[in-house]
């Protein structure tokens, strides 16, 4: 039985898996603590590509820390409780490694908290390896590189920090890959949406946010053809409405991102349509609108929604 469970957010993306895998390795190697990286959901197709490429087994999926007999957890790539493990309020949070906003967060005990405005949680983990003079194994470097590529869309997203290109260069060298070639192949692996049901599609990469008393779900899918996704609008909207009813979401915002042209279409349903329109200064037609140059949920969608809902 491990002393610590290390995990990213629900519906884990590549950065959530990579940063937890890397931090658990660092816990064991540098700090001498028994830590296991686990996942709060099955990996998406992009992450499966990454794990297969670097020969890493998928992390064990858990639903409750207490059920695992663990009282201490470490969070990576998130800190908001509604995005975390089901019994997060019943365990001690020993550390947080994140690159998002801090919200709805309090603990009974002091903790190690490292939150930096960089492109990925994986970037932070890599710097921690260097600070502690721990050699990064090839497979760990591959995962951390992949987490950075995923969250910054191969360093093209506005979330890319000025230090991230150097981090990517160093990790690519350790992992033994060509950054551009590998990065594009990895991103394309995550755009095969035709095999996904509408229910799966809206849950591939989705997070819940409490915005001025409203439970707002913001999801994102990456594609190379926005129209191909919009062709399925009727079934997608049906799945969204079912999810809203089942989970009490006041609003559901789906960000359909074209990874080649760096634009997005926003599909939105819910009680606060006017606030969504005000957030982006556009008009929803047939429940969707084009958002030029938007590729980052963290920087180009959630802050705007937060301001609008609080306004």
Residue numbers in the known binding site for Mn(2+) are 9, 13, 15, 77, 99, 151
Which of 40, 144, 127, 55 is closest to 86 using CA atoms? 40
Q: Residue 110 has what DSSP assignment? A: -
Residues 6+ apart with CB under 8 A from 247: 208, 215, 217
Token pair in block for residue 134 = 């721990």
Q: How many Å is the maximal CA-CA distance in the chain?
A: 56
Helical spans, DSSP H, in 164-267:
164-175, 179-189, 198-201, 226-230, 233-247
Token pair in block for residue 279 = 């957030």
Q: CA 82, 88, 90, 93 torsion: positive or negative?
A: negative
Q: Residue 60 has what DSSP assignment? A: E
Adjacent-strand bridge partners of 254: 219, 267
Which of 92, 77, 3, 91 is closest to 40 using CA atoms? 77
- Angle 125-131-132 from CA coordinates, rounded to 5°: 90
């Amino acid at each position: 039985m491990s002393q610590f469970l290390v995990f990213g957010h629900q519906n884990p993306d590549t950065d959530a898996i990579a940063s937890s895998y890397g931090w658990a390795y660092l816990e064991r190697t540098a700090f001498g603590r028994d830590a296991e990286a686990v996942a709060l959901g099955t990996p998406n197709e992009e992450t499966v590509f990454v794990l297969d490429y670097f020969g890493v087994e998928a992390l064990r999926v858990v639903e409750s820390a207490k059920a695992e007999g663990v009282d201490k957890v470490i969070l990576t790539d998130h800190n908001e409780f509604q995005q975390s493990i089901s019994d997060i309020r019943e365990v001690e949070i020993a550390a947080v490694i994140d690159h998002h906003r801090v919200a709805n967060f309090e603990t009974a005990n002091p903790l190690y908290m490292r939150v930096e405005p960089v492109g990925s949680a994986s970037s932070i983990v890599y710097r921690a390896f260097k600070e502690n003079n721990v050699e990064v194994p090839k497979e760990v470097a591959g995962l951390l590189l992949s987490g950075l590529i995923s969250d910054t869309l191969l360093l093209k997203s506005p979330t890319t920090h000025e230090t991230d290109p150097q981090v990517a260069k160093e990790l690519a060298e350790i992992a033994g890959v060509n950054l551009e070639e590998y990065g594009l192949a990895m991103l394309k692996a995550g755009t095969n949406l035709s095999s996904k049901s509408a229910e799966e599609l809206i849950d591939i990469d989705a997070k819940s946010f409490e915005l001025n008393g409203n439970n707002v779900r913001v999801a994102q899918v990456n594609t190379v053809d926005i129209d191909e996704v919009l062709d399925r609008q009727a079934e997608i909207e049906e799945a969204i409405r079912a999810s809203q009813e089942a989970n009490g979401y006041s609003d559901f915002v789906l960000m359909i991102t074209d990874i080649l042209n760096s634009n997005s279409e926003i599909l939105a349903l819910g009680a606060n349509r006017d606030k969504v329109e005000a957030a982006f200064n556009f008009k929803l037609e047939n429940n969707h609108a084009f958002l030029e140059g938007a590729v980052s949920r963290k920087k180009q969608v959630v802050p705007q929604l937060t301001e609008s809902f609080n306004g």
